[in-house]
Structure 1
């Protein structure tokens, strides 16, 4: 409870500095970060946490899910709505009770879990309500990891490294993607950990498919193999990309060497005081100087906490602070369209970036 109360207070302080009277949080990851409830019931319609100074937090949820929210969250005051069209009226009634019907309400307008129609319906109920974008508030509050969060990240990474070691040791001619995926889950389960998330897994030309799932495809000699896997602990994911070549494969070996250089630049660039844009420039510049800029088709990385927030993108102005952590998956397209690369989860420290993984991001030649 103490950690959640501390997080909520930081949100209130940040919102107050922005001139916001009430913060209305709808992103599922942010709801979990602030209350403990996983947000799974929110597939039906918006689940919203209302934070305002001088009043206990209020959770708006579907009536069918209210008991789950009560049991799994730290919030004691809940309002329920039975049907989707009732959300706006129930929310408006609560804002009136709180004296917020004619105040400035910060809503996460860039959130996937809040539709424009929901916002418009609420504004139709409360004509004097001023809605402003609070999309960045939770991201900024959650960006610096607390000790309990860092421990969860390290625990998740330990599970992830078991998965990576299993992947690497099982590579042989004729083994299928599914066989290795099953072996990974067996060993993770034996550890008593939650199942890992196989974000992407492919052998040979199946690496031309982003976020491909394991199949019966078998590994052949002189073929590449890449895995992006996430160990999980308390909703924190230790995502990691590792690659290998069985035999030789000049095209992907060259791409991977460039990805390694870019990841190493990311470790150096993850220093407090730099902007996210400067971080992106340092990493992306490695690829651009190689003449392969068209092979880098995604963001440089993103914040790591329970909700995976802000991106590290060109010209981003967010300031990197001590204690922030980033995933930096550098997956590049080769000249023939094969995706290949590596990553690190990096913690920003006073000494520079600290990789949380102990497994090498260098290419494994099996």
Structure 2
């Protein structure tokens, strides 16, 4: 299937699986760490402290087990990056893609890991801390260094991972194409007479078949369950005449997919088509608002205006979009009050919806990236209402 990738950009083809992706190099990781340390200094921070999680993977390529043992990357502008690591895990850290760029400081079981970490921080200072740092470790540092202060990384540097380079965009496009293939296949399965959980399991299997290493969510919300935007698939049996919201995604090659389409079991009635067409028009309006220099809230405003003008404003109950990258939800957010400008390379969802309690819901979602002259969709499956059986 070939579709128009976006306004102001060339067509993007999603029929064939992409070829091999170029691996990230140690120089790529070294550049990311330098950029992060420089951004921290410009934000008035004395450094960054990064625990196991998506930030550490993005910065170093290292994905250690997330346990009670302290692993901490310390980044300070003008200094070499230091990774405090349990001695038993040091060999894996050395072999990570960014390992050669790291000064490893290991500590042994039975010793105090903060004896290794504390000298790297100094007695005073204000540090950015990755959001998923264990409270155990943050409290440990605070106890040893009462003169230090800490701020969450998403608050201090919300755009650190937001702008993707060419290699990252290649991975985002591949993840989007894989999710599209899963949607093309799920429309062929039987819906009527099966439980939501069964269709959700099919979706998860399809995502894995098409290259996802991690499935984060498979929402299958049929009939009145569709009026709950984050409904978890349950034992409800899907029936003829149901509208069904499908929202699914995860990680492929370390980067996220997330797409939503709404299908109908059998032919929809005129009222159902009207609501679906309204959401499709709102999604198109949100996409058309994507351009460099526009504010994030402009995307939300454009999509929301279409739904509000049609009299359904109180039934669009969530933001229009969220950023995506090495996690499926991250800054920036397409929501009223977010005045941050769009920049080429940003990737985020555009996903308006209408939810009618007791009846049904409709949501249509694409991942979009900002280009030099507009936006490009990374999901290319049809956005009209699909009939399933």
TM range (shorter): 0.7 to 0.9
1:185-334 matched pairs, under 5 angstroms: 191=210, 194=213, 196-215=215-234, 217-230=236-249, 232-246=251-265, 247-249=267-269, 252-307=272-327, 308-310=329-331, 311-334=333-356
Residues 145-154 or 283-292, more deviating: 283-292
Structure 2 equivalent of residue 9 of structure 1: 34
C-alpha distance in structure 1 between counterparts of 2:334 and 2:238, whole Å: 34
Q: Distance in 1 between matches of 2:273 and 2:163?
A: 36
SS of the aligned residue for 2:158 comes to: helix
Q: What's the CA shift string for 1:177-232, capped at 9, x where partnerless?
A: 45544544555555555464443113333334544455554432111112111153
Separation in structure 2 between the aligned mates of residue 68 and residue 211 of structure 1, nearest angstrom: 37
Structure 2, unmatched stretches of 5+, are 1-25
What corresponds to 2:56 in structure 1? Answer: 31
TM-score by length of structure 1 reads 0.84
Equivalent residues of 2:316, 2:354 under 8 A apart: yes
Q: Please tell me whether the aligned partners of residues 227 and 243 of structure 1 are also in contact (alpha carbons under 8 angstroms).
A: yes
**Structure 1 spans left out of the alignment, 5+ residues:** none
| Aligned counterpart, 1:163 | 182
Contact 2:292 2:370 survives alignment (8 Å): yes
TM-score by length of 2: 0.80
How far did 1:363 drift?
A: 1.7
Find the aligned partners of 1:170 and 1:304 in 2 and give their Cα distance.
29
After superposition, the Cα gap between the structure-2 partners of 1:81 and 1:253, relative to the gap in structure 1 and judged at 3 Å, is farther
Among residues 44, 68, 81, which one is paired with 1:57 in the alignment? 81
Task: Decide whether the 8 Å contact of 1:252 with 1:334 is kept in 2.
Answer: no
1:91 maps onto 2:117 in alignment: yes
C-alpha distance in 2 between matches for 1:190 and 1:128? 51
Measured after TM superposition, the shift of residue 10 of structure 1 is 1.4
Question: Retained in 2: the 8 A contact 1:46–1:114?
Answer: no
Which residue of 79, 92, 103 maps to 1:77?
103
Asked whether the equivalents of residues 7 and 141 of structure 1 are also in contact (C-alpha less than 8 Å), the reply is no
SS at match of 1:327: strand
Tell me if structure 1 keeps the 8 A contact 2:87–2:107.
yes
2:72 is matched with: 48
Cα deviation for residue 263 of structure 1 reads 1.1
More helix by share: 1
Which of 318, 341, 349 is 2:363 aligned to? 341
CA offsets per residue over residues 105-137 of structure 1, 9 Å max, x none? 2334xx24343x644542332233344554345
Q: CA RMSD in A?
A: 3.1
Q: Which has the higher contact order (CA 8 A, sep 6+)?
A: 2
> Structure 1 residues 45 and 302 mapped into 2: Cα distance closer, same or farther (>3 Å)?
farther
Alpha-carbon distance in structure 2 between the residues aligned to 1:254 and 1:358: 22
